[in-house]
């Protein structure tokens, strides 16, 4: 993968253009680029990334964690969660990031499981899902080592044991013959079969036979959380520090039927994060609207869930005027790099731009990252901050 930084720590022109393009369209930068645009939220970052008893540091030590990162619309939640994703990668975690359209999706364990495993990303290689993990497992684990690993992580008695055993056999010999169907699958085909099954996809009958299944089956007909634990265990064996799961709302107005399984599912997840032999080395982070989540928890009327929610509720602090000035300066610096300019704006000029936005939106408290970036003063001709900076300083 090509680095986005030059030898002196400066980002390159292509990366600057990519970040500008994304923020001009209201899309946060990729996790590994978010540092070039982030401002504020240091206390929240410390809690999730540096505090030894919570967050990633605690997960690295073998604990489970769950958090609810909350803020208003346009408040930089996605920016912040991408920052956490970048920190997780820096610390050697696998991460899974995906959006949900409705909180009811959480009540379906199969849908939640598929969202997690199909979106696994890696700190040290490209690709997503479980295929890169399984390929690395085959490359680094010998057939002779497998039994010890299976005992160490409790694979015995679970279908994943036969899947991994067959996969290692196929990898070592180059293929696997399926007697029941009298077909021979290459090791790549067996890898695809195991990956497909673990990701909750439909695979052919001969592929099911190749991975140790006797008929049509799907991971969602079994205990999805057991599979998730075992995937986590494979990651630990390969030297990763665990799995960080970041679940963002795709809509700001979500509905939650208190009579649905959503309440119980959240309690189950919370409990498993703090029970022995369950979700150790895993962290779940739900990202959403503060007012909506508070209301949903209250409407659920479940005291245990409410208690757990408020313990792990992390509300993003309001940004200060200085934070917004820094944001303007960072965007201006990206423009300088993108256009090969030698100079950028002064502190006074950045403050003037922020003041225009403050006046337009009715005060610093009414400003948000989204408003500053996309509608800084309501001028249709220069709607975004990128447009304003380009027109004034280039």
DSSP letters spanning 311-334: HSEEEPPPPPHHHHHHHHHHHHHH
Please check whether residues 118 and 247 belong to one and the same domain. Answer: yes
Between helix 159-173 and helix 131-140 the angle, nearest 10°, is 60
Q: Check pLDDT > 90 for residue 252.
A: no
Whether 63 is in a domain gets the answer yes
Please check whether residues 116 and 264 belong to one and the same domain. Answer: yes
Nearest CA-CA partner of 114 in 228, 284, 233, 222: 228
Please check whether residues 293 and 153 belong to one and the same domain. Answer: no
Tens of pLDDT along 204-243? 899 999 998 887 777 766 689 999 999 999 999 999 999 9
Please check whether residues 150 and 217 belong to one and the same domain. Answer: yes
Domain boundary residue, one of 274, 292, 315: 315
**Three-state DSSP class for residue 372:** helix
Please check whether residues 188 and 50 belong to one and the same domain. Answer: no
Q: Check pLDDT > 70 for residue 381.
A: no
Of the pLDDT bands very low, low, confident and very high (cuts 50, 70, 90), residue 279 is very high
Whether 151 is in a domain gets the answer yes
Q: Give me the half-sphere count of Cα atoms (radius 13 Å) on the Cβ side of residue 336.
A: 13
Whether 234 is in a domain gets the answer no
Whether 192 is in a domain gets the answer yes
Q: Check pLDDT > 60 for residue 365.
A: yes
Other residues' Cβ atoms within 10 Å of the Cβ of residue 153: 18
pLDDT of residue 302: 82
Whether 230 is in a domain gets the answer no
Please check whether residues 344 and 362 belong to one and the same domain. Answer: yes
Whether 229 is in a domain gets the answer no
Of the pLDDT bands very low, low, confident and very high (cuts 50, 70, 90), residue 116 is very high
Whether 235 is in a domain gets the answer no
Hey, what are 370's tokens?
């989204």
In the chain, % of residues over pLDDT 90: 40
Domain boundary residue, one of 164, 198, 224: 224
Please check whether residues 255 and 211 belong to one and the same domain. Answer: no
Residues 184 and 178 sit within 8 Å (Cβ to Cβ): yes
Of the pLDDT bands very low, low, confident and very high (cuts 50, 70, 90), residue 8 is very low
Please check whether residues 245 and 176 belong to one and the same domain. Answer: no
Please check whether residues 145 and 214 belong to one and the same domain. Answer: yes
Q: Check pLDDT > 90 for residue 63.
A: yes
Whether 232 is in a domain gets the answer no
Please give the mean pLDDT across all residues of the chain.
Answer: 86
Q: What's the predicted TM-score (pTM) here?
A: 0.85
Please check whether residues 251 and 111 belong to one and the same domain. Answer: yes
Best-predicted range by mean pLDDT among 131-140, 302-311, 373-382?
131-140
Measured CA to CA, the distance from residue 279 to residue 282 in angstroms comes to 6
The secondary structure of 72-128 as a DSSP string is -TTSSHHHHHHHHHHHHHHTT-EEEEEEES-GGGGG-HHHHHHHHHTTEE-SSS---
Please check whether residues 219 and 148 belong to one and the same domain. Answer: yes
The secondary structure of 131-155 as a DSSP string is HHHHHHHHHH--HHHHHHHHHHHT-
What is the residue range of 310's domain?
A: 41-123+240-315
pLDDT of residue 121: 95
Domain boundary residue, one of 315, 344, 367: 315
- Exposure class string for 141-152: b at 16+ Cβ within 10 A, else e: beeeebeebbee
Count of domains observed in the chain: 3
Please check whether residues 63 and 29 belong to one and the same domain. Answer: no
Count, residues in the chain: 394
């Amino acid at each position: 993968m090509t680095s986005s930084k030059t030898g002196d720590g400066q980002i390159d022109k292509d990366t600057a253009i990519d970040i500008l393009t994304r923020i001009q369209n209201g899309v946060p930068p990729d996790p590994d680029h978010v540092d070039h645009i982030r401002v504020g939220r240091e206390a929240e970052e410390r809690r999730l990334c540096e505090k030894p008893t919570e967050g990633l540091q605690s997960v690295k030590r073998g604990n489970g964690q769950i958090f609810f990162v909350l803020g208003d619309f346009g408040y930089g939640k996605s920016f912040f969660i991408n920052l956490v994703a970048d920190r997780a990668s820096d610390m050697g975690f696998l991460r899974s990031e995906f959006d949900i359209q409705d909180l009811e999706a959480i009540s379906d364990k199969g849908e939640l499981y598929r969202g997690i495993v199909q979106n696994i990303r890696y700190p040290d290689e490209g690709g997503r899902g479980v295929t890169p993990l399984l390929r690395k497992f085959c490359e680094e684990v010998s057939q002779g080592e497998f039994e010890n690993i299976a005992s160490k992580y409790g694979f015995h008695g679970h279908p994943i044991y036969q899947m991994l055993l067959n996969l290692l056999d196929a990898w070592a010999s180059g293929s696997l013959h399926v007697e029941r169907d009298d077909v021979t699958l290459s090791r790549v085909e067996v890898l695809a079969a195991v990956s497909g099954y673990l990701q909750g996809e439909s695979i052919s009958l001969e592929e099911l036979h190749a991975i140790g299944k006797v008929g049509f089956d799907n991971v969602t007909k079994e205990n999805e959380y057991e599979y998730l634990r075992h995937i986590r265990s494979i990651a630990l064996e390969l030297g990763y520090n665990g799995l960080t799961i970041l679940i963002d709302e795709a809509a700001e107005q979500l509905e939650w039927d208190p009579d649905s399984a959503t309440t119980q599912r959240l309690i189950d997840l919370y409990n498993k994060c703090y029970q022995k032999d369950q979700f150790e080395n895993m962290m779940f982070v739900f990202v959403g609207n503060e007012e909506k989540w508070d209301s949903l928890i209250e409407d659920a009327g479940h005291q245990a869930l409410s208690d757990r929610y408020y313990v792990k509720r992390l509300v993003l602090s309001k940004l200060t005027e200085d934070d917004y000035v820094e944001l303007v300066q960072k965007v201006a610096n990206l423009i300088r790099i993108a256009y090969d300019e030698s100079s950028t704006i002064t502190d006074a000029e950045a403050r003037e731009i922020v003041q225009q936005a403050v006046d337009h939106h009715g005060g610093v408290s009414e400003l948000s990252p989204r408003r500053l970036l996309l509608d800084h003063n309501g001028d249709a001709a220069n709607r975004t901050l990128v447009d304003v900076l380009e027109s004034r300083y280039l």
